[in-house]
Structure 1
Amino acid sequence: MGSQASKQLARRKALSTQKKTLCELNQTCGDVFPGSDYHPPDRKNWMSGLGPEKVHINKIVWPGTHDSATNKIGIPLVSRPFAQCQSLSIYHQLVRGTRVLDIRVQEDRRVCHGILVTYSIDSVIKDIKKFLAETQSEIIILEIRTEFGHQDPPEFEKYLEDQLGEFLIHQDDRVFGKTIAELLPKRIICVWKPRKSPQPKAGGPLWNAGHLKDNWIDTDLPSTKFDSNIKHLSEQAPVTSRKFFYRVENTVTPQADNPVLCVKPVTRRIHGYARLFIAKCVSQGCADRLQIFSTDFIDEDFVDACVGLTYARIEGKA
């Protein structure tokens, strides 16, 4: 009992120290970077606003959401706070400016986060199609994976092709160097990551796991995650020479041995430091590696930060 109490005291001290570290770093380094003062006039159509003929796929800083389809997961006020990472529907995330979706499914095609489940993947597809019907030049990266501990949904690759076929940008390394205008009217890069089923084949309508990578660490300590993100990002090749998407997640994760298990208060420890992260990447010379930047509970400022750096790249300012 005493050792457990001592451990919790040590964890609280570490958390307090790490919060202070990020706060002081923000005060000394600031959150200004090329394009940081840019705000898209229409987040729903921000890619169109930048000019589809000017925006190369590998120059985009893609605002993404982590565990995207968890807005209605579990039971409200009971199990939901332990698994909910977004408060908006898929459609409203896209309208807000999100362009990368992280969807986890189980055997019956229902979306899940661990053992908790929510609506069917059909609801996700419906929201995506609604958004695409209302816009003309917005490209989406849709990552779908079988959640850890679950089996792949039967014939899921065929399901995705049947549902999204007309929008799918086929797996092709040349896509990275193309502009949005060159890919239209195709609108979706769909990365399917099964656990046991065969990976999508090269040249097919779906992309395989090797085309979307990250270095996720399981921690609730914000400075630890921040530093890890910088370290792993700096080890990547610049976006102009990569043939895969690389994701950095501005999130921290509740830990089973910590009293605070609800997602929102834990992830808020790092949530407000997205602009600081981009500024730090610039100062350390690794901003040319930043590509997909994801968060929990996405807001307009996070989207604006990603779009701002994208704008600076297009204008030759970054």
Structure 2
Amino acid sequence: MGSQVSKQVARRKAITTEKRTLYDLHQSCGEDFPACAFRPSDRKNWMDDLHPEKLQISKIVWPGTHDSATDRIGIPLITRPFAQCQSLSVYLQLVLGTRVLDIRVQKDRRVCHGILVSYNVDVVINDVKKFLSETQSEIIILEMRTEYGHDDPPDFDKYLVDQLGQFLIHQNDNVFNKTISELLPRRIICIWKPRSSPQPKSGSPLWSSGHLKDDWIDTDLPSTKFESNLKYLSELPPTSSRKFFYRVENTVTPRGDNPVVCVRPVTERIHEFARLFITQCFSRGIADRLQIFSTDFIDEDFVDACVAVTYARAGGKA
């Protein structure tokens, strides 16, 4: 019992120290990157506002959400706080400016996070379709994956093509060199990551898992996650020479050996440092590697920061 208490005391000290490290870094360098004061006039149509005929796919910093379809997961006040990573529906996330969705499914086509399940994936698909019907030039990266520990939904690739076929941008490495306008009227890059089913092949309507990569660091320590994100990003080639999307997640996650196991109070340890992260990307000379930037509980300022860097790149300022 005593050793367990000592372990938790040490854990709390480590978290406090790491939060102080980020606060000190923020105090020393602030939030300063090209066009950082830019705010889109219409987050729902921010890609359209940045001139789709000029904006290349490789120049976009894509605001994304982690575990996107968890707004209604589990039982309110009982299991939901342990698995909820977003409070907004997928549709409202898209309206806010989110352009990368992380959707986890299990064998009966219900969305899930770990062992907790939520609504049928049809809810997500209908939200995406509704958003696309209300906009003209917004491109979405839709990552669909079978959650760890679950079986693939039967014939899920056929389901996705049947539901989204008219919008799907087919798997082709040349897409990375194209502008948004050159891809229209197709609007979705759908990456299907099954556990055991065959991967989509080149030229198919769906994209294989190798086209969306990340280096997930399972930690609740904010500075550890922050610096690891920078390290892994620094090891990549620039976005202009990559033929895959790379995601950095501004999140930390609850750990089973810590008393705090609800997502929101844990992820808030790093949530406010998104602009600091972008600032550090520029100061360390690796801003040209940044591509997908995702978060829990996405908000306007997070979207604005990603759009600002995109705006700067489109204008040749970054």
Shared fold per TM-score greater than 0.5:
yes
Query: Deviation of residue 128 (structure 1)?
Result: 0.2
Query: Deviation of residue 119 (structure 1)?
Result: 0.4
Q: Secondary structure at the match of 2:101?
A: strand
Query: Deviation of residue 40 (structure 1)?
Result: 0.1
2:4 is the alignment partner of 1:4: yes
Deviations 1:186-211 (A, max 9, x none): 00000000000000011100000000
Query: Deviation of residue 244 (structure 1)?
Result: 0.1
Where do 1:148-297 residues align within 5 Å? 148-297=148-297
Counterpart Cα distance in 1 of 2:85 and 2:168: 27
Query: Deviation of residue 243 (structure 1)?
Result: 0.2
Counterpart Cα distance in 2 of 1:235 and 1:216: 15
Structure 1 unaligned residues grouped into runs of 5+: none
Counterpart Cα distance in 1 of 2:96 and 2:146: 26
Query: Deviation of residue 35 (structure 1)?
Result: 1.4
**Which residue of the partner structure matches residue 37 of structure 1?**
37
For 1:211, give the aligned amino acid.
Answer: H
Query: Deviation of residue 221 (structure 1)?
Result: 0.3
Query: Deviation of residue 10 (structure 1)?
Result: 0.7
Counterpart Cα distance in 2 of 1:35 and 1:197: 44
Where do 1:12-91 residues align within 5 Å? 12-91=12-91
Number of matched residues?
Answer: 318
Query: Deviation of residue 278 (structure 1)?
Result: 0.2
For 1:45, give the aligned amino acid.
Answer: N
For 2:126, give the aligned amino acid.
Answer: K
Deviations 1:29-57 (A, max 9, x none): 11110010100000000000001001100
Q: Secondary structure at the match of 1:181?
A: helix
Counterpart Cα distance in 2 of 1:166 and 1:315: 31
Structure 2 unaligned residues grouped into runs of 5+: none
Deviations 1:55-114 (A, max 9, x none): 100000000000000000000011000000000000000000000000000000000000
Query: Deviation of residue 313 (structure 1)?
Result: 0.3
Counterpart Cα distance in 2 of 1:110 and 1:232: 32
Q: Secondary structure at the match of 1:198?
A: coil
**Which residue of the partner structure matches residue 314 of structure 1?**
314
Q: Secondary structure at the match of 2:153?
A: coil
Deviations 1:240-277 (A, max 9, x none): 00000000000000000100000000000000000000
2:120 is the alignment partner of 1:120: yes
Q: Secondary structure at the match of 1:4?
A: helix
Counterpart Cα distance in 2 of 1:35 and 1:198: 43
Counterpart Cα distance in 2 of 1:159 and 1:266: 36
Counterpart Cα distance in 2 of 1:29 and 1:71: 35
Instruction: Give every structure 1 segment of 4 or more consecutive aligned residues whose post-TM-superposition deviation is greater than 4 Å.
Output: none
Q: CA RMSD in A?
A: 0.3
Counterpart Cα distance in 2 of 1:316 and 1:224: 32
Percent identity of equivalent pairs: 75
**Which residue of the partner structure matches residue 303 of structure 2?**
303
Query: Deviation of residue 19 (structure 1)?
Result: 0.5
For 1:52, give the aligned amino acid.
Answer: P
Counterpart Cα distance in 1 of 2:88 and 2:23: 28
Query: Deviation of residue 127 (structure 1)?
Result: 0.2
**Which residue of the partner structure matches residue 108 of structure 2?**
108
Q: Secondary structure at the match of 1:294?
A: strand
**Which residue of the partner structure matches residue 129 of structure 2?**
129
